[in-house]
Structure 1
């Protein structure tokens, strides 16, 4: 099968190299430029994105988080993080963070594939409870479809990249054993 026909694949990155960093930065910049409320304000540079991913890579190296990516023929098209570094009284829990899909990869089931793989990685790490937050109205339909439970919405919790208050919705998911 030609490489351009290759189905997207999800994997956990145990080490993050420069090629990964560049591609992850492209995904993050695209999401911010597309208006996603993912902690960053416009204008948002490739250099700022690289600095963010270098910090994530350090956490991956020390085992504090797992970094999952989905790749298509052009490279990394989406990512999600599983934050394992939790307080001593929460060893059963992990946070889902920065579930990002480049605009070129949307509406192809990549977000659902990333979330399923993140849940598997959480189970592998012995976690039984996941939590996440999302800009209200953003990926809520996806999380509900995947069986996540709505906790509630905090009005004006964050800002959109171009400014203006953004409501944030919180979810959790109790994981069953395999």
Structure 2
């Protein structure tokens, strides 16, 4: 049986921390579906289509990773994709409480689907999409925070970055 895992998120935008989780997950699972969530509670900078495209460019060299998007309950999407695992990245202890609640409700909704928590690489523990957008909004350089294609996309939204 092939192991299929879903890594959901808003990815607005995808960061090098997300890429770290994707690359490492792809070494553990036969197939990783990175699923961009349409979250009605957020006002994203990038459209779903833009986020999917940024992810496709960022992981094009990883053959067992598929990029998709979805609306609705994550557990329904995971079932629909015949996956048995949800991947969640943790940066710090502060992420754990929310992620534990989400994993618990998902387990209640479908006890056969497991949540796989993965700690991000320490070099990305401070990194979030919100921080990247804040840095980019003030036209600071985002090199090293996001893949090159994403940096160009941020440039198109906010304008040129300084070299400092």
How high is the TM-score relative to the length of structure 1? 0.30
Higher strand share: 1
How high is the TM-score relative to the length of structure 2? 0.32
Greater relative CO (CA pairs within 8 A, separation 6+): 2
Higher helix share: 2
